[in-house]
Amino acid sequence: MNKSMKCIILIFAVIMIMVITGLGFCKGRNQEKITKEKKIEKAENGEKTTKYVNNEVTKDKQTGIYYVKNVIDIFFDESISETEKTEIIDEVQGSIIDSIPSVNQVQIKIPETDYQGLKRTIEIIEEKEGVLAATSDIVVPIDMSSRKEFKAENPKKDYTNKADWYQKIGAESFEQYKTSHINVGVVDVGFDFNHADVDIVDLSKIRSKKKDHGTHVAGIIGAKHNSYGINGVLSNCTLYGYDCLPDENQKPYMMSQSCMLYGLIACVEKGCKVINYSVGFSEDEKNLTDIEKYEMGNNWSKYMYIMLHRAKIRQSGNKDDFIVVQAAGNGYRKNKIANIKGRDASNTGFFACIAKENCYHKDDISVNDILDRILIVANAEEKKDGYILDVTSNGGEKISVSAPGDNVYSTVKDGYAMDGGTSMAAPMVAGAVAGIWSIYPEMTGAEVKNAIVETAEDKVKSNPKAPNSADNNQNIYKFLNIKKALQYCEMKKIKEKEVAEMAEEKPETKGEKFTGTAEDMRAAMEKATNLKVVYITTADFDADGNNESFALATDDSKDPYWGYHTAEIWFVDSNGECQCIKKEENISMNDEVLGGGNLFFNYEKHEYQTSSVSCLYGVKNGQPYELQISGKYMNFRIDENRNKYIAEDPEYNEGQQYEDIFFEYDENIEEFYKITN
């Protein structure tokens, strides 16, 4: 073979190799693309732990928010048809990539857009009839500081002497009560589902390799009361663990909000009354911006709204009610060193970002309904002269209560070990909530939270070494006290029984006439009712030239916080005929008479020790009636300088002054209406 022929063959061979390699490369690229798509489809279709690849997450330049590109979660009303759903999705050119039928949710992908375009699409969707809410899927790095390997101690040894936190919070008080079984959810990272001392039901489809943090948290709540290990706050419970970290190989540890949402849904759908979240935003020196907090809080309030809405429409009483307990977070590491210092708890993200200003709600579920079912827990450290907020613990006005989270002994894989932080303080509160609810199942979530917060002791001082906790060293934090919470609940139950029994009794004085002076009327009413008349006021309430009277009668002594625990409101018309118009509990008198031409009888009904609402009655055609704004505002009074009525909004104010609202009275409709401040 001559040299030229060899060159031709060699060139031909090289060309063929390049073609074959190119085809193989193309095939590999196509196969990689197909594999990636299948991987995403598998993770999203039913696994409920969405795992996004890097190119699906982007950062909005305007807000700094990381989010999943072009993805929207839609929650539909139960009455909407599949055809109507399809029409709404088609209108925004969306395609379904996932769904959770149990909550009537679909996740859709829309054409390429930026974050502002995504929000505009969400607004369009939420305006549609049959849509409860829609959200973007924000992605955040999470605090994984406690994800360390523990050297577990002997699993069959008694370590209750090391778990002194149990006595500090008064958990032994539950041992004196008969508790009913209750379900508790733990949304966390890393569970040992085979631990001998704590039974955890697996709700996860994808598990983390390390099995310590979630196990440690779960043991604090519900470790068995036996001859070895530790005692959890409440042993008579079933723990449901949801592993919320989809890919622990990611750096940093990134998590989409939908992953956390799926944990909430999974736990509530299993009947969990309490769901503990000992997770939070990563320990980064950078604080969340106001817009980041607003967007996160708005999304999470939508998740709360959806689940509370479902509980309400089921009309199952308190069966589907629930409370979320979240750790306040462990501050930040400056320059990535171990010197962690607390900051404002709103920087931990998730539920801690929900505020009155960004809380999503509709007519059936109010802002207070949502906020009253969230507890944010700080870590309190014991010193020689009392408790102080741990230097690593986040603080500020978001904190509901604190618990001793330092050096906490609990369950880990293959045994027991010590850990610390707000992650350990939160499950103590979660266990307390579960215990109270297991004894008093008739209570609402708001009432259980109130029992925890109102009875917690004001004894945890701010930490001057953590200047970033945003409390300016002025705050005194509450410390969990289970014993007092149980006493509070027992007293509440007794008082409710007394009110119910009193309500069953029919007033025997209907039709009797009380005339004469106020003292004559008081004496006659007390004789007829066997109650003490503590207030009586007489005026021409309906401006018809004749006087009427309102009176408050009780057989109770006045409590400095709650007023009169049980009382009756009586009305005496201009002819002296009387009637009991209302039986109340926890009331005291405000300004007894308000108004100019038309007058109004006004008293305060105490909902909590620090909160009350004004109740107002007028007189029309000689008979009493309750105004529509009665029971909706607090401290209702007349502004003498402006000759207008003023009240305060009783909803949460995040530590600021209550918002003043001004009203005028319309004589034509005989009701108050709001006016511009």
Please give the positions annotated as active site: 143, 188, 213, 423
Q: Which of 388, 358, 201 is nearest to 291 (CA)?
A: 358
C-alpha separations of 511 from 141, 507, 620 in Å: 70, 10, 19
User: Are 186 and 214 contacting, i.e. CB atoms less than 8 angstroms apart?
Assistant: yes
User: Are 421 and 146 contacting, i.e. CB atoms less than 8 angstroms apart?
Assistant: yes
Q: Which of 467, 526, 504 is nearest to 331 (CA)?
A: 467
The DSSP element (H or E) to which 20 belongs, if any, is: helix 3-44
> For residue 553, what are the β-bridge partners?
533, 568
Specify the residue for token string 């950062």. 59
Q: Which of 349, 398, 405 is nearest to 376 (CA)?
A: 398
User: Are 446 and 324 contacting, i.e. CB atoms less than 8 angstroms apart?
Assistant: no
Q: Which of 196, 313, 189 is nearest to 255 (CA)?
A: 189
C-alpha separations of 109 from 106, 112, 161, 255 in Å: 10, 9, 54, 19
Residue 563 Rama label (left phi>0; alpha psi -120 to 50; beta): left
Instruction: Say which residues have a Cβ less than 8 Å from residue 622's Cβ, sequence separation at least 6.
Output: 542, 544, 546, 548, 573, 574
- Residue 291: how many CB atoms within 10 A of its CB? 13
Q: Which of 541, 645, 647 is nearest to 604 (CA)?
A: 647
Peptide bond into 427 cis (omega under 30): no
How do beta strands 374-383 and 386-389 pair? Answer: antiparallel
- Residue 618: how many CB atoms within 10 A of its CB? 22
User: Are 673 and 629 contacting, i.e. CB atoms less than 8 angstroms apart?
Assistant: no
